[in-house]
């Protein structure tokens, strides 16, 4: 293979990764999608052998692969998420890596009910969150000023298979199933429309910036407001059952100021617009 620049999307068959691959191709960026079928990141020898073919190329790595929280939030998942990162670093230590974009999570923060920014205290309290923070630390040592960390909230979009909160709410309302809102749905949430992520990555690939950025709409809504947007888009009245009180539920408000200050022409999709588009796409 020649030494032209190429973007490698690790986890390119996943919900977010597939959106990134599609956007890169639409923008005529040479890219490769790497799935588990192509390369098992948990097997070092397999990782080393697979990436030998790219040793002479200038690489932009976009790492979206992860055992996600909703599938397995356990100590073994934590260890495997970290092992994937370690295997990649060890297998490609002599490769020409121009940039490394890592998808992390806002779960790494200590949520004190205030707006989360990149300086908020880090205090992951679950294995998935701990795996993300541990991976961030390992990657910082390996890639330093080549590393871009994107901390994401919940993400929704047409291929989320109802795995997102918005997807679950939409399915329940469509099927006239009772919707149980904890604390009357008064807690604030900020969810990211999946199509914004590849737009962010395209902006980063065209820049020389590194560092850590929160991605969010920057405008949290109460869960009950989100339910109303979904029900209006569906033209249905939701069936909401008696609320359950849970004092452990906190607000999620996320500042995207650092990213917007860095890329002032960028605009995140509001939840009002994103949810309407999402439901139209499902139809």
Residue spans per domain, the chain: 5-155+193-216, 165-189+220-253+268-282
pLDDT of 244 reads 79
pLDDT of 1 reads 36
pLDDT of 73 reads 80
The answer for 178, left when phi > 0, alpha when psi is -120 to 50, beta otherwise, is: beta
CA dist., res. 115 & res. 97, Å (int): 34
Question: For residues 135 and 87, is the Cβ–Cβ distance under 8 A?
Answer: no
pLDDT of 174 reads 94
CA dist., res. 271 & res. 230, Å (int): 10
Torsion sign across C-alpha atoms 16, 22, 27, 33 = positive
Instruction: Give, for all 283 residues of the chain, the pLDDT tens digit.
Output: 334 789 999 999 999 999 999 999 999 999 999 999 999 999 999 999 999 999 999 999 999 999 877 777 899 999 999 999 999 999 999 999 999 999 999 999 999 888 999 999 999 999 999 999 999 999 999 999 999 999 999 999 999 988 899 999 999 999 999 999 999 999 999 999 999 999 999 999 999 999 999 999 999 999 999 999 999 999 999 989 877 788 778 999 999 999 999 999 999 999 999 999 999 998 7
User: How is residue 104 written in tokens?
Assistant: 């992390």
Superfamily, domain 5-155+193-216? NAD(P)-binding Rossmann-like Domain (3.40.50.720)
CA dist., res. 149 & res. 7, Å (int): 16
50-76 per-residue burial string, b: 16 or more CB within 10 A, e: under 16:
bbeebeebebbbbbbbbbbbeeebeee
- Class of the domain covering 165-189+220-253+268-282: alpha beta
Does the pTM of the predicted model rise above 0.85? yes
Beta strands at 58-63 and 96-105: parallel, antiparallel or unpaired: parallel
């Amino acid at each position: 293979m020649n030494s032209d620049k190429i973007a490698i999307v690790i986890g390119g068959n996943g919900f977010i990764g597939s959106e990134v691959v599609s956007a890169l191709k639409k923008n005529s960026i040479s890219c490769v999608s790497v799935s588990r079928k192509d390369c098992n990141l948990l097997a070092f020898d397999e990782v080393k052998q697979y990436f030998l073919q790219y040793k002479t190329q200038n690489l932009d790595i976009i790492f979206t692969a992860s055992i996600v929280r909703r599938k397995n939030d356990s100590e073994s998942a934590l260890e495997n998420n970290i092992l994937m990162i370690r295997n990649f670093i060890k297998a490609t230590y002599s490769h020409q890596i121009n940039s490394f974009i890592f998808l992390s999570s806002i779960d790494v923060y200590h949520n004190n009910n205030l707006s989360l920014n990149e300086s908020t205290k880090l205090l992951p309290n679950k294995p998935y969150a701990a795996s993300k923070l541990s991976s961030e630390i390992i990657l910082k040592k390996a890639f330093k000023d080549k590393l871009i960390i994107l901390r994401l909230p919940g993400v929704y979009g047409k291929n989320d298979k109802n795995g997102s909160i918005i997807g679950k709410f939409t399915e329940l309302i469509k099927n006239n199933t009772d919707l149980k809102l904890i604390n009357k749905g008064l807690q604030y949430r900020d969810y990211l429309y999946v199509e914004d992520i590849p737009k962010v990555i395209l902006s980063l690939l065209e820049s020389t910036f590194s560092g850590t950025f929160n991605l969010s709409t920057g405008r949290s809504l109460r869960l009950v407001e989100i339910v109303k947007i979904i029900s209006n888009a569906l033209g249905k009245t939701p069936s909401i059952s008696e609320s359950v009180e849970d004092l452990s539920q906190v607000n999620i408000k996320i500042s995207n100021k650092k990213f917007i200050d860095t890329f002032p022409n960028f605009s995140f999709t509001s939840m009002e617009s994103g949810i309407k588009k999402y439901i139209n796409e499902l139809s």
